[in-house]
Chain A
């Protein structure tokens, strides 16, 4: 034990410093002395918005190694002033919950279990099915001869937690494909 280490022995610090009772700076460890908030390790801070209700509270997303390490409110926001409700405050867990499903799963018709599928195959299968469903239920005109130019073969539900840009592209692509049964939470 060298002298420096010995001098760091809290008892010595108790006897020599301002904290004889050992309730303050005499007893701190090196880790305590060099304490920083854990966000000090973050390598990015992104301006974001809470994904739950529509109040639109501003969030700061602290990232490290490509993952979210912490989320808190942005005090600059005129809407939320940095505050978050319990759901907003749990946003980090929304991304990092151990229950998150991060790989593609596929259930064949009448199967009792999931299997795995790679992205490219899945996308290809879905594209085929969209085209088939579109064909199967294509309607050129109604009984009175009015143009319909649509398909009733597939539908889509969702969008209220998706971005504007995403909703726009969903509407654009599916409308161009002739689909009309496009809906989201706003109806529910």
Chain B
């Protein structure tokens, strides 16, 4: 956190000054560790073992926050007797299809009559004695997760484990809270979603959700990565976390019921309203109740269409054109070499950036052109580079990591040809519509009928506030017609309102751009509700009903946030209550009504169909209702817990010989004996597009380095600050040797595990101020089944002293190692030795079939907002 979010870290230091204990669990000793009370090094990828053991400790010793957990979580809920745990199936859950590598999740459901379960009223056993209640399942599931296991397989001593557990326990309960902050160390793992889930389970058990100073903070890495998930440029969702429509969902009713049933508890019951308002915002007068608001205009998914599947289409010559706007995939995405190979096959490419990034110039000075593997003359891609305005040269809003939207005013004009994306996309839309204006083709109607008319200034820049107003939504009829909606509760599914993103509804409340508010922190409370605007409804702490006890009283004076005020008959406090304002704590809820009205006064988790925090997740995850530990796809450590070595649902497209995995525990694994983990450092920004071109930042960290322990350096004869070559089953790069005691070998299951660290900000090219090999060339595409995010944090490599070979010799070196590891035969036949070979697709389309994360999404209600950002956003 000190490394990648230094300014947010001020609050951690502030807390530390006041006596908070700060523990940093990370394979590496970083700038965060340097300022923590304790750094606990763990083996990369073993997080679920550690957290599972904490959960076990808490359960075994009855240290969980009983009153909180009983009232607000599904601990007493009984699960159907079809459910089989990893304990029962030796490492997988019930419903697993080894053919496709996917789960049928229906056996993970709640017990009870369908009618009642649908209304959020499954069977419960408040005594927690029922063998299939969540409490008992949890206890059985985590029984294997012992401190000894942690010591042996995470590399954490008993002492340190005890320190960690004691600190969490001592800092949880009525008076105190513990918070978990994570970033890509969790999301960029195959199984990363479940690592986050493990901490969610623990935090719920300790009563650390919905309260001040609690929760799980995803430290997101880009200025608007939260906003780009809320108003998504993502394949699987529409604005406001409405899922994209899946093939087969032919009607509006079918689709919205899949998102949220009217009879279920909480706010997803209104999915039809949110969808109708979105469609109305997009197709205006053409969208009516009668035509289901032109639900038919939406394109449908047939599987995952993430950036990695798109890459697959590129490699197969099935993609003509590509827009890259403020991204640098040949550096930032996994397997950079493959990314470049894919881009060679495009017909055309549009790159919009400030600088001549490597994704714009790979055809001219990319590594393969440099090595002579391919010549510029052989690359047929037509490239448009369009300069773009930066954040200071346009007005607009960013949503930061805590869901707070902040408006930016324009401070300067874009230089020369530079334009904002807003202007570009608006003008592109106008141009496309003009070209189609005489079309009678039915498929062009969504474009022609689209509401696409925004006021522009003298430079042609559309008024971003007009767009935000559309996102907020308006009344369309009645005396308020034309006025902005004050909140999503005002939205109707009858065509009388429109709004582009229901969770942002209210951002233009009172016709004021609430995101633009800048009331000084000096002039308001610590919660600072009048600075910017947080979705939904300006709530700063989600699920804050849980900050009060079941009776509506704060758990303690020092941890109070909102509470029930009997006199006023409503919830009051320092934050906007995340609960129906007048619903009494003892309100039993009205199951007959469904939606918010069905919520009981203690159903704090208002987005969940049962109103409770999910220790056990009956739906929403592709790889299990409870987190289980699996080794990384290339790990050389046999899974100590289950026969299943690595994630049974992991996705690994091979793309010929270009995306091979190291053999791991199979023979030949010792060819790639060391673990490498990638990371970011303070001085640079992701793939370097916004840092390597700036003199002030470039000089601070000018060269790629690899952090190695003194022990490994000695063993391999690495000269401090000399060169070393790192070889994986995909590629080889060179880096400066950085010998440091901040890296240390761990004794794991009888073997010594050496981990090396590589920051990934550099790239080969001729345009930036500083260059270096691109680390992501080393990483294979091994995706998490929930998120389609690649495994960057623990992969295997070989290391040699000295610089890497140049020209053709580089590929020969990589091939030599592949041959020695037996993952590719001399004649070029691929021998796949990857542990989860059961569903290693050579054909990408095939991969998409069984990697389909949408199958759950479409039929089950989406998970809560918190889960959503955990699973989908992670953090960048």
Q: How far is the CA of A182 from the CA of B306 in the complex (A)?
A: 8
Would you call A15 an interface residue if the criterion is a C-beta within 8 Å of the partner chain's C-beta atoms? no
Please state if B384 and A182 are interface contacts (CB–CB under 8 Å).
Answer: no
Would you call B426 an interface residue if the criterion is a C-beta within 8 Å of the partner chain's C-beta atoms? yes
Would you call A5 an interface residue if the criterion is a C-beta within 8 Å of the partner chain's C-beta atoms? no
Looking at the assembled complex, report how far the CB atom of A70 sits from the nearest CB atom of chain B, in whole angstroms: 10
Residues of chain A within 8 A of B354, CB atoms compared: 94-95, 97, 100-101
Looking at the assembled complex, report how far the CB atom of A53 sits from the nearest CB atom of chain B, in whole angstroms: 5
Name which residue of chain B comes closest to A183, CB basis: B307
Q: How far is the CA of A167 from the CA of B327 in the complex (A)?
A: 14
Residues 6-63 of A contacting B (Cβ, < 8 Å): 44-59, 61-63
Name which residue of chain B comes closest to A90, CB basis: B696
Please state if A186 and B300 are interface contacts (CB–CB under 8 Å).
Answer: no
A-side interface mostly: mixed
With A51-B223, A99-B693, A178-B446: A131-B425 Cβ-Cβ less than 8 Å: no
Looking at the assembled complex, report how far the CB atom of B475 sits from the nearest CB atom of chain A, in whole angstroms: 20
Please state if A188 and B697 are interface contacts (CB–CB under 8 Å).
Answer: no
Name which residue of chain B comes closest to A85, CB basis: B6
Would you call A3 an interface residue if the criterion is a C-beta within 8 Å of the partner chain's C-beta atoms? no
Please state if B296 and A147 are interface contacts (CB–CB under 8 Å).
Answer: yes
Name which residue of chain B comes closest to A84, CB basis: B7
Residues of chain A within 8 A of B450, CB atoms compared: 172-173, 176
Q: How far is the CA of A29 from the CA of B685 in the complex (A)?
A: 43
Please state if B392 and A71 are interface contacts (CB–CB under 8 Å).
Answer: yes
Please state if A126 and B350 are interface contacts (CB–CB under 8 Å).
Answer: yes
Looking at the assembled complex, report how far the CB atom of B144 sits from the nearest CB atom of chain A, in whole angstroms: 32
With A61-B392, A103-B387: A164-B432 Cβ-Cβ less than 8 Å: no
Among B230, B400, B435, B450, the one with the most A-chain Cβ atoms within 10 Å of its Cβ is: B400
Q: How far is the CA of A162 from the CA of B230 in the complex (A)?
A: 13
Residues of chain B within 8 A of A175, CB atoms compared: 238, 298-299
* 0/1 interface trace, chain B 225-254, chain A, CB 8 Å (1 if under): 111111111110011000010011010000
Residues of chain A within 8 A of B353, CB atoms compared: 101
For the complex, count residues of A whose C-beta is within 8 A of B. 120
Please state if B415 and A56 are interface contacts (CB–CB under 8 Å).
Answer: no
Looking at the assembled complex, report how far the CB atom of B251 sits from the nearest CB atom of chain A, in whole angstroms: 10
Give which listed residue, A61, A169, A172, A180, contacts B411 with CB less than 8 A. A61
Looking at the assembled complex, report how far the CB atom of B576 sits from the nearest CB atom of chain A, in whole angstroms: 16
Residues of chain A within 8 A of B814, CB atoms compared: none
Please state if B247 and A148 are interface contacts (CB–CB under 8 Å).
Answer: yes
Please state if B767 and A99 are interface contacts (CB–CB under 8 Å).
Answer: yes
With A54-B401, A170-B425: A158-B324 Cβ-Cβ less than 8 Å: yes
Q: How far is the CA of A31 from the CA of B306 in the complex (A)?
A: 60
Please state if B393 and A162 are interface contacts (CB–CB under 8 Å).
Answer: no
* 0/1 interface trace, chain B 363-383, chain A, CB 8 Å (1 if under): 110000000000011111111
For the complex, count residues of B whose C-beta is within 8 A of A. 170
Residues of chain B within 8 A of A154, CB atoms compared: 319-323
Residues of chain A within 8 A of B443, CB atoms compared: 138, 140, 149, 178
Please state if A48 and B223 are interface contacts (CB–CB under 8 Å).
Answer: no
Please state if A180 and B244 are interface contacts (CB–CB under 8 Å).
Answer: yes
Name which residue of chain B comes closest to A173, CB basis: B429
- Which of B133-141, B159-167, B416-424, B554-562 interfaces with chain A? B416-424
Looking at the assembled complex, report how far the CB atom of A107 sits from the nearest CB atom of chain B, in whole angstroms: 4
Please state if A68 and B392 are interface contacts (CB–CB under 8 Å).
Answer: yes
Name which residue of chain A comes closest to B418, CB basis: A102
Give which listed residue, B8, B378, B402, contacts A110 with CB less than 8 A. B378
Please state if A101 and B420 are interface contacts (CB–CB under 8 Å).
Answer: no
Please state if A97 and B299 are interface contacts (CB–CB under 8 Å).
Answer: no
Please state if A166 and B422 are interface contacts (CB–CB under 8 Å).
Answer: yes
Would you call B627 an interface residue if the criterion is a C-beta within 8 Å of the partner chain's C-beta atoms? no
Please state if B324 and A61 are interface contacts (CB–CB under 8 Å).
Answer: no
Residues of chain A within 8 A of B6, CB atoms compared: 85-86
Residues of chain A within 8 A of B376, CB atoms compared: 110-112
- Which of B87-95, B463-471, B731-739, B815-823 interfaces with chain A? B463-471
With A77-B531, A90-B697, A161-B223: A129-B231 Cβ-Cβ less than 8 Å: no
Would you call B214 an interface residue if the criterion is a C-beta within 8 Å of the partner chain's C-beta atoms? no
Please state if B397 and A164 are interface contacts (CB–CB under 8 Å).
Answer: yes
With A127-B428, A164-B398: A78-B521 Cβ-Cβ less than 8 Å: yes
Please state if A117 and B384 are interface contacts (CB–CB under 8 Å).
Answer: yes
Please state if A163 and B398 are interface contacts (CB–CB under 8 Å).
Answer: yes
Residues of chain A within 8 A of B684, CB atoms compared: 87
Residues 454-486 of B contacting A (Cβ, < 8 Å): 464, 467-468, 470-471
Would you call B595 an interface residue if the criterion is a C-beta within 8 Å of the partner chain's C-beta atoms? no
With A54-B222, A57-B7: A146-B247 Cβ-Cβ less than 8 Å: yes
Would you call A2 an interface residue if the criterion is a C-beta within 8 Å of the partner chain's C-beta atoms? no
Give which listed residue, B231, B333, B397, contacts A171 with CB less than 8 A. B231
Residues of chain B within 8 A of A167, CB atoms compared: 224, 227-228, 231-233
Please state if B397 and A163 are interface contacts (CB–CB under 8 Å).
Answer: yes
Residues of chain B within 8 A of A100, CB atoms compared: 354-355, 387, 415, 693
Looking at the assembled complex, report how far the CB atom of A118 sits from the nearest CB atom of chain B, in whole angstroms: 8
Residues of chain A within 8 A of B398, CB atoms compared: 49, 51, 56, 163-164
Q: How far is the CA of A123 from the CA of B390 in the complex (A)?
A: 20
Residues of chain B within 8 A of A157, CB atoms compared: 307, 310, 322-325, 327, 329
Give which listed residue, B379, B387, B522, B691, contacts A104 with CB less than 8 A. B387
Residues 69-105 of A contacting B (Cβ, < 8 Å): 71, 74, 76-81, 83-88, 90-91, 93-95, 97, 99-105
Name which residue of chain B comes closest to A179, CB basis: B299
Please state if B225 and A181 are interface contacts (CB–CB under 8 Å).
Answer: no
Residues of chain A within 8 A of B198, CB atoms compared: none
Would you call B769 an interface residue if the criterion is a C-beta within 8 Å of the partner chain's C-beta atoms? yes
Please state if B428 and A184 are interface contacts (CB–CB under 8 Å).
Answer: no
Please state if A183 and B227 are interface contacts (CB–CB under 8 Å).
Answer: no
Residues of chain B within 8 A of A61, CB atoms compared: 392, 411-412
Q: How far is the CA of A175 from the CA of B421 in the complex (A)?
A: 16
Please state if A91 and B392 are interface contacts (CB–CB under 8 Å).
Answer: yes
Residues of chain B within 8 A of A84, CB atoms compared: 7
Q: How far is the CA of A42 from the CA of B516 in the complex (A)?
A: 22
Would you call B837 an interface residue if the criterion is a C-beta within 8 Å of the partner chain's C-beta atoms? no
Name which residue of chain B comes closest to A156, CB basis: B323
Looking at the assembled complex, report how far the CB atom of B531 sits from the nearest CB atom of chain A, in whole angstroms: 5
18 A-B contacts (beta carbon < 8 Å): A46-B409, A47-B408, A54-B220, A54-B401, A56-B400, A63-B412, A79-B400, A90-B691, A105-B360, A153-B321, A154-B320, A158-B324, A160-B222, A160-B876, A178-B443, A180-B244, A180-B305, A188-B327
Top 6 A-B residue pairs of the complex, sorted by shortest distance between their CB atoms: A56-B400, A163-B396, A61-B411, A46-B411, A158-B325, A150-B299
Since A114-B364, A137-B320 are in contact, a sample of 19 more A-B pairs with Cβ atoms closer than 8 Å, ordered by chain A residue number, is A53-B5, A53-B220, A68-B393, A85-B682, A95-B354, A105-B383, A106-B382, A124-B431, A129-B320, A130-B321, A153-B320, A164-B397, A166-B425, A167-B228, A175-B299, A177-B447, A178-B446, A182-B235, A188-B327
